[in-house]
A and B are shown apart, each in its own frame.
Chain A
C-alpha cells in the first residue's frame, strides 16, 4: 500500500499522467468526435464497431478517459497530502534549535563577537528582522525568523486547485447535461434533448420564446451587432420574464440558457406574389404561406407554394436542392390548382423576376419578396461542477503566482558562547536573498 502511495505522488507519475492526458486528448483531435456520423462507419469499415465500443468517437466522455482523469485526481491528492506534511514540518513546525555545526554549513553564515551585551544585540537583530517582515519563532537557545511562507503554501494551493477543477469536471460529467433548444416565437417547451446521451430531460418548468431580435451593423450587414431572445419562464404559478443575449446567459434553478445561434424558420415563410396575365398586365397581388392554398380571384384557380429553397441549385441529375440555409438564391415552387384540371408545378425565383418557367401556365407569376420569422437556438446546460471548477481556476492562478513569484527564506539567530551566529537559507532566488542577508549583517554592524 505504501508503495502504491509513493508511486502515486512521485514526479515520474505526474509526468506520466501529463503525457497520457496529452496523447489521448490528441487522438480525439484526429478522429471526428461524433457517434452518429455515417461517414465514420464508411471510413473505418470493419473496425467501426470496435472503435465505437472503446469509445474512440466520444473519447472525452469514454469510461477510460474519465477513469484516467479520476486516477490523476488521486495522484494529485497524494501529492497535495505529501506537500502538506512537508510544509507542516518545514514551515509550521520548523526546526529552531540547530547545532552550531549545522548552521556553519549553511550557505549564508555570519558570526559576531560583540561584547559585553550579547543578549541586547540578539534582541536588536530580532527587531530588525521583524521590521523586515520576518515572522519569529523562539526555541530553547536559538530564534528562527522566516519570510515568504506563502510561497510554500502556494505550491499546495496550485495542486489543490487542479483537484477542484477535476472534481468539478467529474461532477458535471455525472450530474449535468447539455442540450439544444430551437425555439420559434411563441413556442413553449418543458423538455430538452440531451446532446450526448440521446435522452429527453424534463426541465421542471416551461420556457417560452416571446420575441427574437437581431440587429446588424449598418456598414457591414453580414455581421450581427446583437441578437437576443426575450423569454418567459413559467414554473407552476410563478412567471418570470428574462432576456438571453450573446455572452449574457440566464440561469433558472441551476439550469443555464445561452444564446447560441439563430436560424430562419423556413416553415414560416410567406410569399408576396404578383400575378399577371400573359400580356404582362397585373391582375392580382396575393399573399401565401408555405402549403397554404390561396384562390386567384375570378379565375377559379388556386395557388399553393409547396417548396421553398433559400439557396436553389440543381444537382447532377438536374434535381433541385437547397445548397444552404442562406438566402443566396431563394426560389419557391408553386402549384397551380383547378378543379378537374391537372396541377401545374413550376419554380419562381426571387432574384430573377423576369425568368419564367418553360411550363405552360395560364398566368405569369412574380415573387416580389417573402417574410420569414427566425427561430432562436438556445444552449441548455446544467453543470453542478461549475463552482468547483471556478474555485479551482482562481486557486490555480493564486497558487502559481505565490509559488513562482515569492520565495521562502529562513534566518537563525543564536547566541553561542561568546558570539552571535546569524545563518540563513533560501529556497530560491539566491541573489536577492544574498542582498537581503548582507543588508541585515551590515545593519547589525553599524548598530553595535
Chain B
C-alpha cells in the first residue's frame, strides 16, 4: 500500500517536472496548469503515504531519516504550490521541484520498514518540535532556491544582459519579497521548533539546553537568521545581501540537520 503511493508520488512528480521544464522553454497555459495540477496530485499522494505511516506508527511520521526527508520534500512541494497559486510564478517550479525530488529520492534510498517509536519521543513537545523544525527547513531550502535565482537575475540586470534568461525569471522585487516572507516565516517556525525541543529536553532529561553539537548548530543557524533580520530592518540589507544570508543560513541548517549526526558520532544518541 505504502509502496504504491510512493511510486505514484515519484511518477507524478517526474511528470510535473517535465511540464515545468517544457513551460520554461515554451510558455503555454497547457504546461502552466498541467504542471500545477499534476504536482498537486503528486503532493496528495505523498501526503497519503505520510498519513498511512503515521496511522500505523500512531505517531508523527518523523522517526527515521526516510520519514523526515520525505516530510521535508513534501513541505517544499507544498510551498511551491502555494507560491504558484498565490503569486502566479510558475518558473520557480523548474528550479526547486528538482531539489524537492532529489530530497525525496535520497529519502527513498534510506527507506526503512516501520519501526516502533522510541519511548523518549513519545512526548507532546517533541511532536511539536519535529514538524516545526522541518517546516522551517522547507522554508529555508525554498529561500535558498529563490536566492540563487535572485543572484542570477540580479547579475543579468546589473550587467545589462537582458534576454531570454532575464525574461524567464521573475522580477527582483518579487524574488526579494518572497525571500523575505520565506525567511521570516522560517525563522518563526525554527524558533517554535527550538523552543519546543528545549521544553521536551527538559521533560526528558532535566535540562532545557545541554550544549550538544546539534543544539549549538541550531543556535548558530538561528543566530544567522536573526542577524539577517536585524540587518535587513536597520541597515537595509535586502537583495543580494539577503540572498547571501539565505545561502549561509542554509549551509548552517544543512550541517545542523545532516552534518552533526555524522561528524559528532554518538552524541545525539539520546537514549540507548
Interface residues of A (CB under 8 A from B): 11, 14-15, 18, 21-22, 25-26, 28-29, 33, 60, 169, 178, 217, 219-220, 223-227, 246-249, 256, 258, 260-261, 379-381, 383, 386, 389-390, 393, 396-397, 400-401, 404-405
Contacts and interface: CB of A to CB of B under 8 A. Distances in A.
A396 B203 CA distance: 20
Interface stretch (B40-48, B141-149, B150-158, B186-194): B186-194
Interface stretch (B49-57, B119-127, B163-171): B119-127
Contacts, number: 100
A223 B121 CA distance: 13
7 contacts: A26-B216, A29-B264, A246-B204, A247-B204, A258-B206, A260-B206, A380-B206
Contacts of A29: 213, 216-217, 264
B206 A381 contact: yes
Interface string B82-93: 000000000000
Interface in B189-240: 191-192, 195, 198-200, 202-209, 211, 213, 216-217, 219-220, 223-224, 226-227, 230-231, 234-235
A217 B118 CA distance: 10
Interface of B: 115-116, 118-120, 122-123, 184-185, 187-188, 191-192, 195, 198-200, 202-209, 211, 213, 216-217, 219-220, 223-224, 226-227, 230-231, 234-235, 264, 271-272
Contacts of B271: 261
A21 B203 contact: no
A11 B123 contact: no
A25 B207 contact: no
Nearest to A259: B204
B203 A400 contact: no
Contacts of A21: 219, 223
B211 A60 contact: yes
A249 B203 CA distance: 7
Nearest to B196: A393
A216 B103 CA distance: 34
A258 B211 contact: no
Given A29-B217, A249-B206, 9 more contacts: A15-B230, A18-B226, A26-B216, A26-B220, A219-B116, A247-B120, A249-B203, A258-B206, A386-B208
Nearest to B198: A393
A220 B208 contact: no
A400 B208 CA distance: 20
Nearest to B217: A29
Given A246-B204, A247-B203, A223 B118 contact: yes
A191 to B, nearest CB: 18
B204 A25 contact: no
A256 B202 CA distance: 10
B216 A25 contact: yes
